[in-house]
Amino acid sequence: MRKRAPVIFTISLGIIDFFMAGLAFYIGYQLRLRSDYENILPFSNYVGMTLVHVISILIIFFFYRLYHRQRSLSYVDQFYAIFGAASVGTIMAIAFISFFFKNQLDYPRLMMVYVWILTILFTSLGRAVQSRLQRSLQARDWGEENLLIVGTGEVGRIVMQKILRSPELGYRVVGFVDDSPKVKAIQDIPVLGNTDQLPELIKDNNIKEVIIAMPEASHQETLQIVSKCDRGKVAIKVFPDVFQIMAKEVTIGDLGGLPLLTVRDTAMRGWQLTVKRVIDIAGSAVGLIFLSPVMMLLAVLIKLESAGPVFFTQERMGLDGRRFMMLKFRSMRQDAEIQTGPIWTSANDDRRTRLGTYLRSFSIDELPQLINVIVGDMSLVGPRPERPVFVEQFKETIPRYMDRHREKAGITGWAQINGLRGDTSIIERTKYDLWYTENWSLALDFRIIIRTFLQIFNDRNAY
């Protein structure tokens, strides 16, 4: 059963979608029946329509790759995928129903709307329950697949740590592969050999997936590693370098017949800036109005617990490298950096006050930054602003680091909801920030805001 878990998970998804789509059609029929009892036939007459609807949904879900194994898809991302697939599936079902039941049976328009909305909600709910159960079983070694990590550098270690902290992903790291290993093991996970030995290692260890965690490698080196993995017929994933992240919006042009790659200008312009600013003002204003009683209570508690101001102001660098004073509720002693100077907060930082520990754990200390958003120094969503002293260090060592300052700094961001906050790799955080600037959309901002709220009570790097 454990070995067949991936197949069981996929079949269970199909069964859940089948019943949820059918239930959505039945409930939609009942809702329409309540509003127009006299002109609606018994449900037995609509069984054929129900089957057409369900089959259409299953077919579209298949072509949307919703039956492929997704190890780390968030509930928000899953809902977006289901929304699109269910919408197309419902339109397809209406087309087939109109063809097969023409002049035989009426498909009321209001009922179509009910069925469409309920299909999205019910299939999302069913898949959320199945996903939670699947992750629980994967954390208990159900459907566990052996994994090799190519590269023992910083990125390889980050990938390993992510997998070890997320047993629900269903991976077991068998070992590392590196052409010039400086160590024989990393946290008891052995370095098994070099890349020339990949075909044998894949076969001997029953490897199902290989992650190439060497963004510093040349394209030729990466292709050679991939070709060696192909012999083992395994899934291959490559950790991208900075150019690969920014190359999503690359177009091919020419200079007098000489081919050139043109990278998209990442900065938002015109109506995009206007719309984002309107959303920032509206969102922060609503937040300040509704949260003002809580913020006043916190101000009193901070003042009672320790000497010092309620707010902590710190210089940060934002849009176009401009400096501004970022507001936070004070969560540390007033003299926190007198002995240490500018340093990052650590998980067990003894400079925090008792109340401050809770404020930082749930990111409540960030609430005053809504004021920064109102005055225009920050946005609700964007790359997190960094202190100038650290920016001066990072821009010398991290490619394109200053490009993240082409967008307004945010209270939350793409890197933060993916676990890159606190004392985590600034290199990887920068890559996520660059991806955000390259792929910005209003829908992406809303996804980030929703996921931020969902992670408030489950963020291991909030300290």
DSSP 117: H
> Reduced to 3 states, what is the DSSP secondary structure of residue 209?
strand
Per-residue pLDDT of the chain (463 residues; tens, 9 = 90+): 566 777 888 899 999 999 999 999 999 999 888 876 656 778 888 899 999 999 999 999 999 888 887 766 677 778 888 999 999 999 999 999 888 887 777 778 888 999 999 999 999 999 989 888 888 887 777 777 888 998 888 888 888 888 887 777 888 889 999 887 777 888 888 988 888 888 888 888 888 888 888 877 777 888 888 888 865 578 888 876 654 554 455 555 544 455 555 555 445 556 777 888 899 999 999 999 999 999 999 999 988 888 788 888 889 998 888 999 999 988 887 766 665 556 656 566 667 788 888 888 888 889 999 999 999 899 999 998 888 888 888 888 787 788 788 888 999 998 888 877 766 677 778 888 888 887 788 888 888 998 888 877 666 555 4
Domains detected in the chain: 5-139 (no CATH), 145-239 (3.40.50.720), 271-454 (no CATH)
Residue 130 Cα to chain centre, angstroms: 19
Nearest alpha-carbon partner for 163 in 178, 183, 146: 146
Quick check: pTM over 0.85?
Answer: no
- Residue 362, both tokens: 């749930």
Residue 278 Cα to chain centre, angstroms: 24
- Residue 135, both tokens: 């992750």
Residue 159 Cα to chain centre, angstroms: 16
Q: How far apart are CA 115 and CA 27, in angstroms?
A: 8
- Residue 165, both tokens: 């902290």
